[in-house]
A and B are shown apart, each in its own frame.
Chain A
């Protein structure tokens, strides 16, 4: 079993829709949670970063972390064709001596005009 599970999609939605992207994880030591967007043949870029549990909002993006369920979500409101990309979740622990980030496989999103 992978430490981080993410549905690869693809997910197709009409322009203006609310998009929900999710990841589940198995390691209860994860404390830092991130969402990245990756366009084809480009490096990932950070969208949202959350420490521990709770919600965080930034413009059209909302990140939620439910540590009791080991489940994180990214919501995109008023989705635009320019949001079409692969969305990656990533996580890290605060365990001493480990610094690595664990990424999900990514969900391909296509927003149709």
Chain B
């Protein structure tokens, strides 16, 4: 399977714990996005990487959230001191560079439940 993969698919944690999610984009895609989606809402942009450089972060993103993309391949999203309001689906998407590169390919998401 050469699509975007995300791990874990589900995560249940207690309030105050730290969690880390991983995204493996399509191999030739140098652009990577993280989104958060809650029930009944569309995906909300969190952050964007071009290769290993984090070029854009949402102004709404709390400093408890941090993302990395070492070597421009896989990416991780960490949430520190989780809160119940962090419960959501976290989606990763990748897209290629180039004139036609507006098609984002989404992974299946990681569903986070904070108790």
Contact = CB atoms under 8 A, between A and B. Distances in A.
Contacts of A43: 4, 91, 93, 106-109
A103 B42 contact: yes
B102 A100 contact: no
A100 B106 contact: no
Interface residues of B, number: 26
B106 A45 contact: yes
Interface string A90-113: 101000011111111110000000
Interface of A: 4, 6, 8, 32, 34, 41-46, 49, 51, 88, 90, 92, 97-106
Given A43-B93, A98-B56, 16 more contacts: A4-B42, A8-B40, A34-B103, A41-B111, A44-B43, A88-B42, A97-B56, A99-B31, A99-B50, A99-B56, A100-B45, A100-B48, A100-B56, A101-B33, A101-B43, A103-B44
* Closest CB pairs A-B (n = 10): A103-B42, A43-B106, A100-B45, A99-B48, A103-B43, A44-B106, A46-B103, A88-B42, A105-B42, A106-B42
